[in-house]
């Protein structure tokens, strides 16, 4: 999508024919961190980046990871401002696929946003480097949705005899499903119901494959 916007900022450039990856209006979190960034140590910057990445791919950082960066040169307010700004910047970059947002454009935008050049390399590796695969996976898994099937336990049995019938000889399938929300659902089904279930699942799989083949052609980046 192309749109003509006026890029606001100290550089005063006008009429860039592409929206910045952060959006048409620069988020206030990013604007707020520009000044503090100019005085920031590279080592502290790298540490903050690590905390942001860890909050997505794990292990979950705790409050001490940022507090340890506070010093006489760096107040906790400033750390907070920089953390929020960088997190916003990275999340906007992660939101778009790497085929949509090219590295050169990313770097151009970083310049427009007045991010000091010494920090560009680290930011690029967060967005385009090897960690991106894990980040995409985590973001996808965290999407809202119905519970998924964590574990399926099953049993096939033959009822030989019951209290009311001496010779039954009927096969049945019993399942217990452990879902991602922690609940356990157990139920039984006749053989014909099981065949139906199997048929439905196979149908959906085949429909999925057809859909995937089709959509790759239509939805272009």
Partner 1 sequence: MAAMFAASASLKKAVALINELDINRFPLLLSKILQKLHVQEERTFSEEEEEKLQSAFSMSSSDLELVLQTLEFILQQAAYHTAKPAVLGDQLRQLDLHEDKVNKIVEAWTAGARDLVQKLRERTVHPNQLEDVQWRLNLQVAQSTQTKMKLTNAFFQFGVRNEDTKKKENIRLEFTHEELYKFYNQLETIQKQLDSLS
Residues of this chain that interact with partner 1 (CB under 8 A) are: 91, 94-97, 100, 136, 139-140, 142-149, 152, 154, 156, 158-159, 162, 164-168, 170-175, 177, 179, 185-191, 193-194, 196-198, 200-202, 204-205, 207-209, 211-212, 215-216, 219, 221
Q: Which is nearer to partner 1, 79 or 93 (CB)?
A: 93
* Cα 113 from Cα 93, distance rounded (Å): 13
Distance of closest approach, residue 196 Cβ to partner 1, in angstroms: 6
199-214 core/surface letters (b: 16 or more CB in 10 A; e: else): eeeeeeeeeeeeeeee
| Half-sphere exposure of residue 18: CA atoms within 13 angstroms, side-chain side | 12
Q: Which is nearer to partner 1, 67 or 171 (CB)?
A: 171
Q: Which is nearer to partner 1, 51 or 139 (CB)?
A: 139
Distance of closest approach, residue 198 Cβ to partner 1, in angstroms: 5
Distance of closest approach, residue 78 Cβ to partner 1, in angstroms: 27
Q: Which is nearer to partner 1, 129 or 147 (CB)?
A: 147
Distance of closest approach, residue 8 Cβ to partner 1, in angstroms: 23
Distance of closest approach, residue 158 Cβ to partner 1, in angstroms: 6
* Cα 26 from Cα 91, distance rounded (Å): 14
Q: Which is nearer to partner 1, 70 or 84 (CB)?
A: 84
The pair of three-digit structure tokens given for residue 135, joined into one six-digit string: 């980040």
Distance of closest approach, residue 133 Cβ to partner 1, in angstroms: 13
Give 61-110 as a 3 state SS string: CCCHHHHCCCCCCCCHHHHHHHHHHHHHHHHHHHHCCCCCCCHHHHHHHH
Q: Which is nearer to partner 1, 2 or 152 (CB)?
A: 152
Q: Could you tell me where the DSSP H helices lie in the chain?
A: 28-38, 42-57, 64-67, 76-95, 103-112, 120-128, 131-141, 191-218
Please choose, from the candidates 120, 112, 117, the residue with its C-alpha nearest in 3D space to the C-alpha of residue 15.
Answer: 112
């Amino acid at each position: 999508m192309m749109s003509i916007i006026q890029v606001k900022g100290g550089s005063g450039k006008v009429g860039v024919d592409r929206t910045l990856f952060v959006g048409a209006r620069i988020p206030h979190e990013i604007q707020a961190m520009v000044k503090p960034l100019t005085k920031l140590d590279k080592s502290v910057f790298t540490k903050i980046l690590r905390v942001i990445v860890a909050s997505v791919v794990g292990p979950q950082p705790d409050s001490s990871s940022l507090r340890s960066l506070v010093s006489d040169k760096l107040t906790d307010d400033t750390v907070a401002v920089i953390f929020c700004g960088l997190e916003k910047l990275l999340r906007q970059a992660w939101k778009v696929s790497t085929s949509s947002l090219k590295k050169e454009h990313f770097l151009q935008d970083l310049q427009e946003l007045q991010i000091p050049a010494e920090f560009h390399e680290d930011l690029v590796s967060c967005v385009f480097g090897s960690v991106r695969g894990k980040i995409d996976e985590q973001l996808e898994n965290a999407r809202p949705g119905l519970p998924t099937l964590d574990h399926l336990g099953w049993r096939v049995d033959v009822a030989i005899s019951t209290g009311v019938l001496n010779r039954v000889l009927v096969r049945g399938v019993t399942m217990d499903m452990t879902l991602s929300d922690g609940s356990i659902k157990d139920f039984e089904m006749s053989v014909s119901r099981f065949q139906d279930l199997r048929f439905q699942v196979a149908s959906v799989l085949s429909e999925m494959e057809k859909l995937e083949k089709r959509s790759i052609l239509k939805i272009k980046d």
